[in-house]
Amino acid sequence: MQSLPIILASRSPRRIALLHEIGLPFEVCPSNAEESNAQGDSPRAIAIHAAQLKADEVAQRQASRLVLGADTIVCLGERVLGKPRDRSEARDMLRALRGRWHTVVTGLCLIAAGETPWTAAETTRVHISDFSDEEMERYIATDEPLDKAGAYAIQGSAVRFVEEIDGDYHNVVGLPLALLLRGLSRFISVEGITVPPPPDRFRNPPA
């Protein structure tokens, strides 16, 4: 098994914070892959392909290391909501999500030299409250939505808009830790590494 820190093929502050939280040794090497090239016949397939593209690009530069690629997408029915380009697009996304369930899918890919790549994906359902236009505008004014898929961050001030979730909380943040540890166990020892509990309000599954 590999002993060097893993390489995270992402500069995402959320993924970096989650890996720090579980105490996993890692280094950051952002991928130059164009995730918009990801293809698939389902959100799960698209997320996995995007994660593969990211991991593969970095693995070509870090051939002796274990590389983690990840990609999170937000889906409302058949519509995929990426990162809004501006406040107007963030407003459109938040209006579409308001008062409805949607899904968050994160694809993972682990690549190590001489090993078969490991891929998987986690899906979580999220219900957004029927917030007011005034609440939405105050949130948009913070610019927090602008670098978030679906124009919100469950770990940020938008948590007040999230009524309940069905599935993995950390997946909605951007990295499904339990699934990741299962994948990592194929390449490195993860003994002693545990997944932190979600915030109290998200610990009980919806009725």
Q: Let me know: does 116 contact 186? Beta carbons within 8 Å.
A: no
Q: Let me know: does 128 contact 161? Beta carbons within 8 Å.
A: yes
Structural tokens at position 180: 């990741």
Catalytic residues: 71
Cα separation, 205 vs 147, in Å, equals 28
Integer CA distances (angstroms), 181 to 48, 53, 150, 191, 197, in order: 17, 21, 26, 10, 15
Q: Let me know: does 54 contact 110? Beta carbons within 8 Å.
A: no
Q: Let me know: does 123 contact 108? Beta carbons within 8 Å.
A: no
